[in-house]
Chains A and B, each alone.
Chain A
Amino acid sequence: MFGLNKKDTSLFFLVLLLVVFAPFLLNPFPEGSELAQFNAGYPDLMQRFLIFGIFAIGFNILFGLTGYLSFGHAAFLGVGSYAGVWMMKLLTMNVIPAIFMSVVFAGLFSLLVGYISLRRSGIYFSILTLAFAQMSFSLAYSVLTPITNGETGLQLALDDPRILGVSSENGAIPPANFFGIPMRESFEMSAGGWLFTFNAGYYLCAVFMMIAFYIAVRIFRSPFGMMLRAVKSNQQRMNFTGLNSRPYTLAAFVISGMYAGLAGGLMVAMDPLAGAERMQWTASGEVVLMTILGGAGTLIGPVLGAGFIKYCENIFSKINDNILYGWFSGLPEGVADFLVFVIHPFIGKGWHLTLGIMFMLIVIFLPGGIMEGVERIGRLFKRKSSSDKNSSARASAAPAE
């Protein structure tokens, strides 16, 4: 369907179902219960899942397929964000021009960075992209202040022209909207003890994420995708086979840059501001972690990785000592104190430690990321049901690394 093979079609619909019903799936615990803090079904976090999912899908087209490890992709996300905010300042609060121009500007900037960085490969390529991103970050902080508004970050103002829209509405900045539907508009549904939130912005992100995912699947299965995997496998052979690897890698770089721009544009659509810290190297590193954690070179691995990291960031970081004492209230005081003392470094501000340990465990025991774990479990079941379908299973698993 839609030019996808059977397996990819079912994967596509699985992702679609998960995304559409995420407000239910991510809110498994009733409101007010002890476990409600593990609920992730609130708009802000769900939007993040999708936006960083798009970012990681795009990064995976470059890193997963060609093996070129870029350490500067946050720069494209940042450029996309600035372009998006400027569109909202100059044109209209409708998010579509903002998102469109985010993609365009990120694409142009990645063309420049890619053209220069792709003259080298391996570690030198990574360092070049890192240098570009840090340069962009520093420029955004200092010299480019007229465009980026420096440390404060670029924000909307009441006196912005917005030539296609209105500068202000009832003395306030009009909300970001999609042809009149405000992005922050939500519909709440309570059923029993549960409260589910359906947010307009989230579903806009969902549409873009599904389009982005669909394009990625098509690229993976295309001759172009095969050439990108050839780059990763043996670039020398590729050149002696009559293929010029440079335009292939550059195209992959620009496509992934545009995905980053789309993510940046969506961030702006959800929350109309942009700051230089979005371009910092830690932000670039984060998308690398997401991709590796989920499974580089797989179709949905990066999305899972993005979700995993954003979940840890938002949920583990909210747990504090008081909550822990709440959990251990049944235990003798000394024991509770001790447990809280042990767990304390891993929660709250220490969530990075938890993430780091998980990352190490996954990379050591599941080098293919979360997707390898899923595959192993799948194989375990398959072995039980039938023993001789192995060869075909391996063949279909091979393209996904």
Chain B
Amino acid sequence: MEILRVEGVNKSFGGLRALNNVNFSVEEGTVHAIIGPNGAGKSTFLNCLIGRLIPDTGSVMFGDISLTGMKPYEINQIGVSRVFQTPEIFGDLTLLENIMIPAIAKRDGEFKLHAFKDVSKDAEIRDKALHMLEDVGLAEKKDSVAGSLSRGDKRRLELAMCLSQDPKLLLLDEPTAGMSRADTNNTIDLLKRIGDRGITKVVIEHDMHVVFSLADKVTVLAQGAIIAEGKPEDIKGDPRVQEAYLGGAHL
């Protein structure tokens, strides 16, 4: 079953056509990778999905709900979470609080004036958050301030924040960018483990190693248009993909 369907999406910035008639769909429960050279429009595409950018034309359907024109928090509330390229976390808050916030958002909705409840006595949310921190291996740092974490840990924290909401669709923007090989492998393991929960994932990635160890399906974007789509093995040998990546230079 299709969980996400994008049809005829165009997006221009001034004279630059960042997305050119993109048609794209994601099957429920799969890991779908989007690859492409720098400037191919991958991040623009993701931003169109989560409401940060509004496509000029075309439709983005999540199940039978149109995401076009919805506010970011509304899109999140219906089950779409996103991990950013540079980790977006609550740097001044503790790790535990970082996870409790999305968990509360999931339970209580976009706004609730709970000004007289004691948040530290909210056992349901607290347990969930602790559990999630254990899952990503950050439990012993639960009371540290999130801003003090290493980049790799921040990523894991952000992932845990998204997972605490039990999203239907998880969008990951280069989850291993700037990571060491060891950290990258840890992240792949983590992503594989959470794959067991049946969360559909769309991953933007540069690192072919990550793509080929995770993805069920790969879409190749170049200059704002989809140039190839298929199983990882097929994409690997596709001459169009190699040309897009290597600029047509035959080595």
Contact = CB atoms under 8 A, between A and B. Distances in A.
Interface of A: 3, 5, 218-219, 221-227, 229-230, 232-234, 236-244, 247-248, 251, 255, 391-392, 394-395, 398-399, 401
Given A223-B122, A225-B119, A401 B92 contact: yes
A239 B104 CA distance: 13
B119 A398 contact: no
A68 to B, nearest CB: 15
B94 A223 contact: no
B88 A236 contact: yes
Given A223-B104, A247-B111, A229 B92 contact: yes
B82 A240 contact: yes
Interface stretch (B19-27, B71-79, B181-189, B217-225): B71-79
A237 B71 CA distance: 13
A242 B76 contact: yes
A401 B50 CA distance: 32
Nearest to A240: B72
20 contacts: A3-B116, A3-B118, A221-B118, A223-B114, A226-B119, A229-B97, A230-B93, A237-B90, A238-B90, A239-B73, A240-B82, A241-B102, A241-B161, A242-B105, A243-B105, A248-B111, A255-B115, A392-B143, A399-B94, A401-B92
A401 B113 CA distance: 22
Interface residues of B, number: 41
Contacts of B113: 224, 247, 251
B101 A238 contact: yes
B89 A237 contact: yes
Contacts of B112: 223-224
A401 B109 CA distance: 27
Nearest to B116: A218
Given A239-B71, A401-B92, 9 more contacts: A223-B117, A223-B122, A227-B101, A229-B90, A232-B92, A234-B90, A242-B105, A244-B73, A255-B115
Given A243-B105, A395-B94, A398-B94, A237 B116 contact: no
Contacts of A221: 118-120
Given A233-B93, A241-B76, A218 B115 contact: yes
A224 B88 CA distance: 21
Q: At the interface, is chain A mostly helix, strand, loop or mixed?
A: helix
Contacts of B61: none
A400 B91 CA distance: 14
Contacts of B118: 3, 5, 218, 221-222
B10 interface: no
Contacts, number: 116
Nearest to A219: B115
A234 B73 contact: no
Given A229-B93, A234-B90, A242-B165, A398 B76 contact: no
B56 interface: no
Contacts of B116: 3, 218-219, 222
Contact of A230 (B76, B77, B90, B110): B90
B115 A222 contact: yes
A245 B91 CA distance: 17
Given A223-B108, A230-B101, A240 B76 contact: yes
A222 B119 contact: yes
A234 B161 CA distance: 14
Given A5-B120, A242-B165, A401-B92, A395 B115 contact: no
Contacts of B84: 240
Interface string B223-237: 000000000000000
B145 interface: yes
Nearest to B78: A242
Nearest to B142: A395
Interface in B103-137: 104-106, 108-120, 122
B159 interface: no
Contacts of B4: none
A242 B119 contact: no
A243 B111 contact: yes
B100 interface: yes
A343 B108 CA distance: 59
Nearest to A241: B102
B101 A224 contact: no
A6 to B, nearest CB: 12
A243 B114 contact: no
Nearest to A297: B92
A74 B224 CA distance: 53
A225 B116 CA distance: 9
A239 B119 CA distance: 20
Instruction: Kindly list the 4 A-B residue pairs having the minimum CB-CB distance in the complex, ordered from nearest.
Output: A242-B76, A395-B143, A233-B90, A242-B105
Interface in B152-166: 161, 165
B101 to A, nearest CB: 5
A242 B167 CA distance: 11
Contacts of A242: 73, 76-77, 102, 105-106, 109-110, 165
B119 A223 contact: yes
A372 to B, nearest CB: 15
Nearest to B91: A233
B88 A240 contact: yes
Given A222-B119, A401-B92, A243 B143 contact: no
Contact of B73 (A3, A5, A240): A240
Contact of B114 (A222, A238, A399, A401): A222
Contacts of A237: 88-90
A222 B101 contact: no
Nearest to A227: B101
Given A3-B116, A221-B119, A234 B143 contact: no
A398 B143 contact: yes
Given A5-B120, A233-B92, A401-B92, A244 B76 contact: no
A105 B200 CA distance: 51
